[in-house]
Structures are given as structure tokens and as C-alpha cells.
């Protein structure tokens, strides 16, 4: 007997045979299959009951009602809230992506104090007590040096209790330098102040208008509450509503419109006044309304006895279709035809504002377009534009002021304009660059480093501010460049009132309710401000007698709070406002403000000279969030390859213009403007006027996280602000530019 | 002569050598066939012992439930059978293993003097911590299973899938598959996969067995057969 090689072979064969007869192969195969289908690292919501929690979306000024589907404590989907006056069950792609903002890595998880250089991204985690006492300490020092007026505040919104508290805090502290991120709402408020004599917001009765003349408003691409607009657009076919889109580029709105009228950008006001010319000349205006409810149509005697040219004469003198044709680039016959169609429609409506209404725009242009509405009587009428009174909430008690505060408030403000200047944010930063000192800046839910034009100058101005504190929930560009971050809860975690839906024809207040427990060590910015004021003590603490923000909100909205808590929203009234008390001007009528419509005002010039042969215009799409809220990755996925591919932004350019310079599709080119330069790719597009190039807003973030940052170019860094001569607000609709081979 | 011819010749020479050597060895080592067979059976035995006895022990780790629980005791006290605790929610979804909130109704304070009961109240109820129960019947995440469809619509008895757990005095040891992380009850107690009762295992074939027999829900409109998407959404 000898054990040899064959014995071992036999042993092996035996093992293999035995293995085949054992359950090992079958079970292992099965288990590995199960394992591969349930990767342990793929997140799965915990198992449990699902429930819906309602709140109000705050990702854009639309103010839609939302229902968040939760499985136990995990949010799994955001849906539109049924029976909500604004969106009735619908939701847009941005609203749908909100959970990525809640759970994404861009959140600021605890109070942070800068450790390295500014913007370097080195932070030390600090406790809330330390953060509040440090900010209060800093502010106290400035106060004791009688520098209270050198503290400035920026809020992302111009309305709401939160903004009110912030403004109140600065006032009690002794600074009048409160600003908010400007928008078209600021311009419209001035239009109503001048022409209606009252504080009002615009409400467009889109659903009942039958001829909508949009002066560049991206009605179907994120203008107003996007869901409302898309719902309305479905009805337009049945009601035979005509949409005429006036803008230099064939946007999605223009594509779906009855007619696209490309005009030379910046000359929209001239076109509007020329339409008025034709309507007056042919006697197509609403004679009843003009005779009974307007002032300044005919020549009139001013207070000083001087005879002033009325609207009629001004328009007849300066804005004939032939004259307008030379400026706008449109055929006079086309202007006449459009004017007739507009005036003869039963419910015509003209809408001012380019894109989604992110920029305030030219006041003269807004007034020219509003005058066009007035001419056809489309004011406070079904299918027209409503001046919705700005809600007067229960006043907070008088702000208590001590000696330092009173002295501070008397000091020179950063921006002095005859009107409310809090929207003139660009001017505030240029004032800082001119040498006005700001020793501390507090930023609430705003991202001026990204959203303001001429980002580089804003950054330079930031460098001159010794202390910047941000209340941001996200590591946005401004927060990243701050010295301290006191993170707010995000909209799904906090209680807050959400007033007004932009352009909605009813006054609506939504209530944002905490749907989730705070995910991290964040604090409601309202509570943070209350705590800082308590720490500062004295009259500042006296101005905030509430135990927390919620108590303050309850106080302000006392009469509406029950309805808000029950229904989630509050609407002013079901009937539209009428002519009773509609105008609170000196004449108690609608006033044509001819002073604001002179030819030197209506044409908005942009920056740059003839060395820049092209004109760069920014545009907005529903697939890119442009403001303080950065584009969540879900939404970026939906952006077309002709806008963003990999990390490259594309400019839209007419093939003729491109051909003249020898560029073809997808070429990398160097885009230069007086404000900066960027490497972009070329996308040939027939639907843009020759000589004009377009870049989308909402790309090119440098902060946040790896999923949001470094995608495309931020168009704001290429454009400089152009201040409106009357309002002081930013009116820049573009900038001159040139392209060269990169 | 070409190279391939060379090779062919060499190979055939080798073949001759091999066959002659085999002849020589077989004539000289008689009886070594027995040892080969022996070794074969030793190998076979090793594999079979490993596969049937050692492997199952290696594959599953044994876990004790956080606290002991008597279904039988509770079943006697409730009026609505299993559904008293394992109920359907208002939206029709199935609640599964009860949450602490359901237990608190009776167990806010210690009932009786069993050490498990004391532990339960002190460790979980008073601190408001959910009991991390190990769920024997949980299907992998890639499986969609609706209790409502089976219990409410098809009127299946709980026992059909879960056996007599409602009469058990204590909770059995939870065997967790080390590869998949799921309970052994899915594959079944019997490692060969043999079952005597409908509740002995709950693999795809076991679901399909009933679905094919009853032909109640066709997943595929085209083929009028069960479709993958009935369970794998």
C-alpha cells in the first residue's frame, strides 16, 4: 500500500463530488445574488409608516404649498399640495428636488468660526453660546466706539416677519443700512407708488387675459409661481389666448407663444410707447377709463403753473412707429399691427420684466409698459393687472432707541436715494469700495457674492469689511467667505410666514412649518437674532420682548395665525380689488408720469464700447435655480447638453455671427466683457438675434459641495450693474462682449 | 519536414512512453486501486460533512432578540388576534412589528415580576427607546410585498406564511446570514431547502408556487403569466 499522487487526486475528486452533493454551491450562489441586489451601502429609507406633512415651499418667490411624504422621520418625496390657491397639487422640478438640499452635503452643520484665510474653507466648530456671544461682543465693541451705523445687514427677501425682525434689529442697534436682494418686485412697487400713489404688488390675471404681451418675461420658464403658469398655459389653447413674446432670443416661452418678436434688447420701452402712439392715433384706447380715472393724459398745469406735456402729446411727438423702428429694429407695419391687435383684444395684458424677474430692471420701461396697460384699461380689471395692497400686518411695537442708536440712525447711509433704497445692494458695495466704512456685515439667506453682478467688485468690497457673519444653512459663496456662520434651519425645518406669490392676482400668505426635526445643530435665524439682542441688552433687548421667534410670529400674524395653522395659507379676499380706493395719488386717479418717460430715460444703456462688438445677455431657464438657493443635483441633471456639458458652459450664438468669426459648434472660445472673461463653448442657435450671445444664469458656483460647484460659468461675474437714474436699482440687461479663439 | 510535423512526432513518442509506464506500474502496484477509492470517499465525506454540517453553522450567526417576548401570553389578552398588534394602518399599509408607542399603553409600568418585563420597561419604555427587534420574516429590499393584498384581498391566514409563531412562549434565536444580512427563515430551517409546511421557507419559488397555482394576479398583460414586476418593482 502506497499513498501516491493518484490518492490525492482521488481525494480532490471526492471533495469536488461531495461539494456538488452538498448545499454549498446553491446557497452561496443564491446569497451572493441577494447581496448584489441589495448593496449594503445603498441608502434605503427605514421601514415604517408613511405620512404626509404640509408646508410652504421657499425655494423661489412662488410660495407653492407642498406635501412632504415621509417614511417615519425620513423624507422621501416632495409633492404639490392639493387645493392650494397657487399650485393646486402641482410642483416644479426645483421644489421636487428640495430633499437634496435637506440631506445634501452642502449643509452647515454647526456654528463655524473661520480658522484660515477668508474663503480658504478652514473652520473651527464652535458652540452656539460662543457664536452668539462672539457676534454680540463684536457688535457691542462697535457700538461703544460709536460706530453703530457701520454695521450693515442683507436679507434675501424684502418681506416677511423674518426680514422685519432683521430690519428691526439693525434699527434698534443704530444702523439704517439694511438691504435686501433686489428683484422686479422693487421696481413694480415704485411703479405703483408713482402711478397709483400707493404701496402695492402686481397681480397678473393671466388666466383671464386673452392677449398677453410679454416684454421678455419667461412666462413658462420659472416666472411667478412656475406651476401656476404651466397650468395656465394648458388652458390658453382652449381659450384661444394669444401670447406674444418680445425678446431677442427664442426662449421656450417664445417657442410656445403665438408669435415671437425679436427686438433689439434694451429698447422694449420704446416699443411699448410706440404701441401707445398707434393706439392713441387710431383712437383705440379705453376712453371711459382715460376720461374718468386718469390724470396726465392730456397736457396739464403743474403745481408751479408750468404747462406740462401730457402722455398723449409726448407719445405722439417722440414715438411714432417709424422713429421706434429705427431704435427697436422692428418693421413699422409690425408695430402698427401689434398695437391694433393689443387694443382690440377684449382683455389685453402687457407684462414688464425680463426673464424670471430676478433683476429689478428699468423703472421707465416698467412705467411705459404699465401706461400701455392703462391705455387699454387693463388695470384692476378681469384679465388685467391688479395693484394688490401690501399687507399691513399688526405693527410690532415701537423700536426702543437709546442715545447710540439715535446717533447711528442720523449718520449718512451707505446708499441715499429719494425712494426706499434697501434694494440698491450693488450701490452699497460700490459705496464701500469708494471708502465708506462698514465694520460688520450680517447676511441672512442671501448670497450677494454669487447673485450680484460684477462679483469681483463685490468680493473686493467684502475684503474691506472686517467682520462678516452669515446665517446661511448652506456653505454658499458668501458663507464660505464669511468669518462666522450661524446656520439657520432650512425651510423644511422651520416655522416662518411666506408672504406673496410673485405675480399672483390674490394676496396670499403661506405658512412654512417644520416638517422635519433639525438635522444638525442649527438654530432658527429669528431665534439667533433674539438671542444676540438679549446679549446686547439695554434698549435693543427691550425691542424684542418675545421669548422666541414663534411668539413674535404669533404676535404679528395674530388674526391670521389660526387659519394659517389650519389651512397652511391665508388669502386676503376672493374678489379682485376694484377701482374703489384704487388710486391714492394727489389727483386720486391713475397718473401717467411723463417725466419718467423721456427719451433719455427709456433707453437703458449697458456697459462697454465699440471694442466689444457683441452683446451678452443672461437668460433664465426653469431647470436652473438662480438665486440664494443653488441648483440641486437632480435639477442640474435635467439641464440640456447645449447649456452645460461636463464642466463647460455654452453660449448661444447665431450661426451667422459665429460664421463671421469662424467659430463652429462646441468650439472653446474666450468670452471677454469689460468686467471679466471666461472660457465657454459655442452653441449655434438660429433662434437668437445676430450680434447677441446668451449665457444662462444659475451655473458656475464655486462654493457648496462637489455636486453643485464647478459647473459652468457664473454670468454675473461678467456683467456690471447699471443703476437706474430714478430708482437706483440695477437695470443691466446685458453687457457688451467679444469672443476670441481660446 | 515542417515544424508541425516535428511536434506531432514528439507528441506521439511521449504518448507511447506514457502508455508503457502505466502498464509497468499497474503490474507492480497491485491493490493501490483500493486506496484511491478510499481517498475518494474520504474527500467525499469531508465535503459532505462540511457542506451539510459545518457550513450552515458558519453561514449564519446566532443573535438573541433584545428581550424575550411571549406571543402566546399576549394572544390570550387581546381581542383581535394577530391584528391587535400587527395591524393595518389607515392608509392600508401594514405596520409590521409593533412600535414602542403601542406597547406603552399597557407597559407604562412593570406588569408582573418577570425579569424580561422589568428590563423592557426600564431599558426601553422609560427611556423612550425603540426595541431593536430582529424580524424573522423580513424579505430583502429588492422584494415588494404587500400584506394588504395577501391578507385583506386573498384572505390568507397569517399561519400560511408565519406558522404557529402566535402560539410561541418565547422568541427563537435569530439566525442571520453573514453574506446577505437577512434572516435564515427566508431560506428555511432545512439547509437542503426541503419544506413540509408552507411557512417553512419563503424564497421566490415559494411565492411563485402559490401565485402560479391560483393565477390570481398576472403581472404581464402580454403573456398572461406572472411578471417580475409583481414583486420586483
Question: Given a cut of 60, is residue A455 above it in pLDDT?
Answer: yes
Most confidently predicted of A410-419, A644-653, B19-28, B97-106: A644-653
Q: How far apart are CA A614 and CA B202, in angstroms?
A: 70
Q: Confidence class of residue A576 from pLDDT cuts 50, 70 and 90?
A: low
Rounded to a whole number of angstroms, the distance from the CA of B141 to the nearest CA of chain A is: 6
User: Mean pLDDT throughout A656-683?
Assistant: 94
Going by pLDDT thresholds of 50, 70 and 90, the confidence category of residue A113 is: very high
Classify A40 as helix, strand or coil: coil
Report the candidate in B172, B168, B191, B199 with the shortest Cα–Cα distance to residue B59.
Answer: B191
**CB-count burial class (<10 Å; 0-12, 13-18, 19+) for B137:** middle
First to last CA, chain A: 85
Q: Does B218 touch chain A if contact means CB atoms closer than 8 Å?
A: no
In this predicted structure, which of A119-128, A327-336, A393-402, A415-424 has the lowest mean pLDDT? A393-402
Say whether A49 and B95 touch across the interface (CB within 8 A). yes
Decide if A10 and B177 are in contact by the 8 Å CB cutoff: no
Contact yes or no for A215/A365 (Cβ under 8 A): yes
Of the candidates A490, A643, A614, A572, the residue with the CA atom closest to the CA atom of residue A200: A572
pLDDT value at position A413?
87
Strands (DSSP E) along A224-292, which ranges?
Answer: 242-246, 259-261
CB–CB of A1 and B44 under 8 A?
Answer: no
**pLDDT value of position B27:** 45
Whether the Cβ atoms of residue A10 and residue B37 lie closer than 8 Å to each other: yes
Task: Report which listed range, A243-247, A302-306, A384-388, B88-92, is most confident.
Answer: A243-247
| Average pLDDT score over chain A | 91
Query: What span, in angstroms and rounded, lies between the C-alpha atoms of B206 and B231?
Result: 13
One DSSP character per residue, A340-409 reads HHHHHSSSEEEE--SBTS-S---HHHHHHHHHHHHHTT-BSSTTSEEEEEPP-PPPPPPPP--HHHHHHH
pLDDT band (50, 70, 90) for residue A679: very high
Q: How far apart are CA A451 and CA B230, in angstroms?
A: 49
Average pLDDT over residues A685-691: 94
Give the per-residue pLDDT at B15: 47
pLDDT digits (tens, 9 = 90+) for B18-39: 444 444 444 445 556 788 899 9
Tell me which H or E stretch contains B11: helix B3-28
When pLDDT is cut at 50, 70 and 90, the band that residue A586 belongs to is: confident
Task: Judge contact between A277 and A321, C-beta under 8 A.
Answer: yes
Closest-CA residue of A relative to B190 is A23
The mean pLDDT of A398-422, rounded to a whole number, is: 86
Q: What is the mean pLDDT of residues A580-608?
A: 79
A325-334, A377-386, A597-606, B136-145, range with the lowest pLDDT: A597-606
Q: Are strands A200-204 and A385-389 parallel, antiparallel or unpaired?
A: antiparallel
User: How confident is the model over A218-238, as a mean pLDDT?
Assistant: 91
Q: What does the pLDDT look like over A483-516, one tens digit per residue? A: 999 999 999 999 999 987 788 988 899 999 999 9
d(CA B203, CA A220): 51
For residue A452, what are the contacts with CB-CB under 8 A and spacing of at least 6? A425, A426, A429, A458, A716, A721, A730
Which chain B positions have a beta carbon within 8 Å of A34's beta carbon? 140, 142, 179-180, 182
At A55, which helix (H) or strand (E)? strand A50-56
ipTM over 0.90: no
Chain A residues whose CB is inside 8 A of the B38 CB are 7
pLDDT of residue B1 exceeding 50, the answer is: no
Interface contact B40-A13, CB threshold 8 A: yes
Given a contact cutoff of 8 angstroms between Cβ atoms, the answer to whether A445 and A477 are in contact is no
Amino acid at each position: 500500500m502506497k499513498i501516491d499522487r493518484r490518492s490525492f487526486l482521488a481525494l480532490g475528486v471526492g471533495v469536488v463530488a461531495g461539494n456538488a452533493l452538498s448545499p454549498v454551491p446553491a446557497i452561496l450562489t443564491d446569497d451572493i445574488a441577494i447581496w448584489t441586489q441589495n448593496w449594503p451601502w445603498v441608502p434605503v429609507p427605514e421601514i415604517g409608516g408613511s405620512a404626509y406633512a404640509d408646508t410652504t415651499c421657499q425655494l423661489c418667490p412662488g410660495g407653492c404649498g407642498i406635501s412632504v411624504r415621509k417614511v417615519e422621520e425620513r423624507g422621501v418625496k416632495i409633492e404639490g399640495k392639493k387645493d392650494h390657491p397657487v399650485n393646486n397639487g402641482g410642483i416644479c422640478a426645483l421644489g421636487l428636488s428640495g430633499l437634496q438640499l435637506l440631506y445634501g452635503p452642502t449643509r452647515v452643520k454647526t456654528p463655524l468660526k473661520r480658522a484660515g484665510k477668508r474663503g480658504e474653507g478652514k473652520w473651527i466648530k464652535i458652540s452656539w453660546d460662543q457664536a452668539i456671544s462672539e457676534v454680540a461682543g463684536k457688535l457691542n465693541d462697535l457700538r461703544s466706539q460709536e460706530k453703530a451705523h457701520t454695521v450693515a445687514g442683507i436679507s434675501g427677501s424684502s418681506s416677511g416677519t423674518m426680514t422685519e425682525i432683521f430690519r428691526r434689529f439693525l434699527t434698534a442697534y443704530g444702523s439704517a443700512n439694511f438691504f435686501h436682494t433686489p428683484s422686479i418686485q422693487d421696481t413694480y412697487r415704485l411703479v405703483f407708488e408713482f402711478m397709483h400713489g400707493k404701496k402695492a404688488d402686481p397681480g397678473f390675471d393671466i388666466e383671464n387675459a386673452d392677449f398677453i404681451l410679454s416684454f421678455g418675461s419667461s412666462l413658462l420658464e420659472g416666472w411667478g409661481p412656475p406651476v401656476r403658469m404651466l397650468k395656465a398655459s394648458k388652458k390658453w389653447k382652449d381659450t384661444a389666448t394669444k401670447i406674444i413674446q418680445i425678446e431677442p432670443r427664442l426662449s421656450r416661452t417664445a417657442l410656445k407663444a403665438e408669435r415671437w418678436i425679436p427686438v433689439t434688447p434694451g429698447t422694449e420701452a420704446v416699443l411699448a410707447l410706440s404701441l401707445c402712439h398707434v393706439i392713441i392715433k387710431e383712437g383705440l384706447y379705453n376712453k371711459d377709463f382715460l376720461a374718468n380715472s386718469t390724470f396726465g393724459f392730456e397736457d396739464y398745469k403743474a403745481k408751479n403753473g408750468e404747462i406740462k406735456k401730457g402722455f398723449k402729446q409726448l407719445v405722439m411727438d417722440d414715438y411714432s412707429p417709424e422713429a421706434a423702428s429705427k431704435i427697436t429694429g422692428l418693421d413699422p407695419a409690425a408695430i402698427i399691427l401689434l398695437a391694433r391687435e393689443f387694443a382690440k383684444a377684449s382683455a389685453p395684458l402687457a407684462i414688464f420684466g425680463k426673464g424670471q424677474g430676478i433683476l429689478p430692471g428699468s423703472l421707465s420701461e416698467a412705467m411705459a409698459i404699465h401706461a400701455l396697460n392703462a391705455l387699454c384699461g387693463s388695470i384692476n380689471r378681469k384679465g388685467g393687472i391688479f395693484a394688490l395692497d401690501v399687507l399691513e400686518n399688526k405693527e410690532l411695537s415701537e423700536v426702543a432707541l437709546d442715545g447710540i442708536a439715535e446717533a447711528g440712525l442720523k449718520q449718512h447711509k451707505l446708499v441715499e436715494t429719494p425712494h426706499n433704497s434697501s434694494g440698491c445692494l450693488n450701490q452699497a458695495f460700490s459705496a464701500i469700495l469708494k471708502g465708506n466704512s462698514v465694520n460688520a456685515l450680517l447676511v441672512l439667506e442671501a448670497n450677494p457674492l454669487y447673485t450680484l453682478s460684477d462679483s469681483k467688485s463685490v468680493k473686493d468690497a467684502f475684503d474691506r469689511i472686517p467682520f462678516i457673519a452669515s446665517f446661511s444653512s448652506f456653505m454658499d459663496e458668501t458663507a464660505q467667505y464669511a468669518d462666522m456662520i450661524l446656520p439657520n434651519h432650512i425651510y423644511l425645518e422651520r416655522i416662518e410666514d411666506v408672504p406673496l406669490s410673485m405675480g399672483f392676482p390674490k394676496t396670499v400668505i403661506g405658512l412654512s412649518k417644520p416638517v422635519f426635526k433639525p438635522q444638525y445643530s442649527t438654530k432658527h435665524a429669528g431665534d439667533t437674532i433674539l438671542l444676540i439682542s438679549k446679549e446686547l441688552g439695554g434698549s435693543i433687548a427691550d425691542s424684542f420682548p418675545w421669548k422666541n421667534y414663534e411668539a413674535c410670529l404669533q404676535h404679528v400674524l395674530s388674526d391670521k395665525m389660526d387659519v394659517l395653522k389650519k389651512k397652511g395659507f391665508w388669502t386676503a379676499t376672493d374678489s379682485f380689488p376694484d377701482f374703489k380706493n384704487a388710486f391714492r395719488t394727489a389727483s386720486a386717479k391713475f397718473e401717467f408720469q411723463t417725466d419718467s418717460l423721456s427719451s433719455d430715460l427709456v433707453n437703458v444703456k449697458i456697459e462697454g464700447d465699440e471694442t466689444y462688438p457683441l452683446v451678452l445677455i443672461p437668460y433664465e431657464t426653469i431647470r436652473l435655480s438662480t438665486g440664494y438657493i443653488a441648483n440641486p443635483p437632480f435639477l442640474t441633471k435635467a439641464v440640456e447638453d447645449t447649456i452645460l456639458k461636463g464642466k463647460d458652459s455654452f453660449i448661444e450664438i447665431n450661426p451667422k455671427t459665429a460664421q463671421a468669426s469662424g467659430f463652429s459648434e462646441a468650439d472653446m472660445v474666450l468670452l471677454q466683457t469689460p468686467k471679466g472673461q471666461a472660457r465657454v463653448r459655442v452653441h449655434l442657435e438660429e433662434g437668437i438675434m445676430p450680434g447677441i450671445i446668451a449665457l444662462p444664469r444659475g451655473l458656475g458656483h464655486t462654493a457648496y459641495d462637489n455636486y453643485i460647484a464647478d459647473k459652468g460659468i457664473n454670468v454675473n461675474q461678467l456683467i456690471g450693474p447699471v443703476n437706474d437714474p430714478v430708482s437706483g436699482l440695477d437695470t443691466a440687461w446685458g453687457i457688451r462682449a467679444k469672443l476670441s479663439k481660446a | 519536414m515542417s515544424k508541425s510535423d516535428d511536434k506531432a512526432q514528439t507528441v506521439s513518442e511521449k504518448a507511447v512512453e506514457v502508455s508503457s509506464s502505466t502498464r509497468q506500474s499497474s503490474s507492480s502496484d497491485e491493490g493501490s486501486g483500493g486506496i484511491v477509492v478510499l481517498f475518494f470517499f474520504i474527500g467525499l465525506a469531508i465535503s459532505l460533512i462540511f457542506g451539510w454540517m459545518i457550513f450552515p453553522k458558519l453561514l449564519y450567526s446566532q443573535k438573541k432578540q433584545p428581550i424575550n417576548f411571549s406571543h402566546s401570553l399576549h394572544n390570550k389578552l387581546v381581542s383581535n388576534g394577530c391584528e391587535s398588534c400587527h395591524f393595518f394602518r389607515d392608509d392600508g399599509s401594514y405596520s409590521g412589528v409593533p412600535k414602542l408607542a403601542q406597547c406603552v399603553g399597557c407597559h407604562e409600568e412593570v406588569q408582573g415580576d418577570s425579569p424580561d418585563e422589568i428590563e423592557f420597561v426600564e431599558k426601553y419604555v422609560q427611556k423612550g427607546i425603540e426595541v431593536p427587534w430582529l424580524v424573522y420574516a423580513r424579505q430583502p429590499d429588492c422584494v415588494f410585498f404587500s400584506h394588504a393584498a395577501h391578507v385583506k384581498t386573498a384572505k390568507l391566514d397569517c399561519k400560511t406564511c408565519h406558522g404557529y409563531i402566535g402560539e410561541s412562549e418565547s422568541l427563537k434565536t435569530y439566525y442571520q446570514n453573514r453574506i446577505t444580512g437577512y434572516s435564515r427563515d427566508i431560506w428555511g430551517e432545512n439547509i437542503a431547502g426541503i419544506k413540509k409546511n408552507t411557512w417553512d421557507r419563503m424564497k421566490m419559488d415559494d411565492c411563485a408556487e402559490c401565485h402560479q397555482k391560483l393565477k390570481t394576479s398576472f403581472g404581464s398583460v402580454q403573456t398572461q403569466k406572472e411578471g417580475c414586476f409583481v414583486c420586483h418593482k
